[in-house]
Amino acid sequence: MRYYSSHGYTMNIKRFIETEVIERRNYSLKEILIWIDYYFIKPDSRLIWLSPDKFMANRYNLPAQDYDNYQNIPEDELDVVVFDSDKLMVIEHSNDGDDGFLCILDKELCA
C-alpha cells in the first residue's frame, strides 16, 4: 500500500507535541504519551502526516478556494511525495478526520 504527503517533511515527537498539542490543541499530552508507549516512538523517530488518498494529500498544496474541488484535480497534476507502507508504521489512533494519519518512518526504529 502507498501513502502520500503534500510536502515530505518530517518532525520528531518533540516538534509534534509543540505543534499539535501546545499550539493547535488537536491532541492532549495524555493521548500522545499513550502513543509513545504503544508505538515505541523514540525521541529521534521521524514522524510525518500521510494519507492513503493521494488526492487528499494534494489538497494541502491547493489554494483554500480549491479545497472542495480537490478530487477533480487531474492525476498528472498532483504534487505529492509517495511512501511505501513497508517503510513506515501508521499510528492508527491519530486519524485527523480528513484521512490523514501520523506515521513513523523507518519502522525498524520503532521496535
CA angle 90, 94, 98 (to 5 degrees): 100
Distance in angstroms (rounded) separating the CA atoms of residues 101 and 52? 9
**Can you give the pLDDT at residue 111?**
42
Core vs surface per residue 57-84: b (16+ CB within 10 A) or e:
bbbbeeeeeeeeebeebeeeebebeebe
Category of 100 on φ-ψ map: left (φ > 0), alpha (ψ -120 to 50) or beta: beta
Task: Print the domain residue range for 92.
Answer: 2-109
**Can you give the pLDDT at residue 67?**
85
Mean pLDDT of the chain: 92
Distance in angstroms (rounded) separating the CA atoms of residues 48 and 20? 12
Q: What is the pLDDT averaged over residues 37-46? A: 94
44-95 per-position pLDDT tens digit? 999 999 999 999 999 989 998 988 889 999 999 999 999 999 889 999 999 9
Say if residues 40 and 110 touch (Cβ distance below 8 Å): yes
pLDDT-based confidence at residue 18 (cuts at 50, 70, 90): very high
How many domains, in total, are found in the chain?
Answer: 1
Q: What is the pTM for the complete model shown? A: 0.88
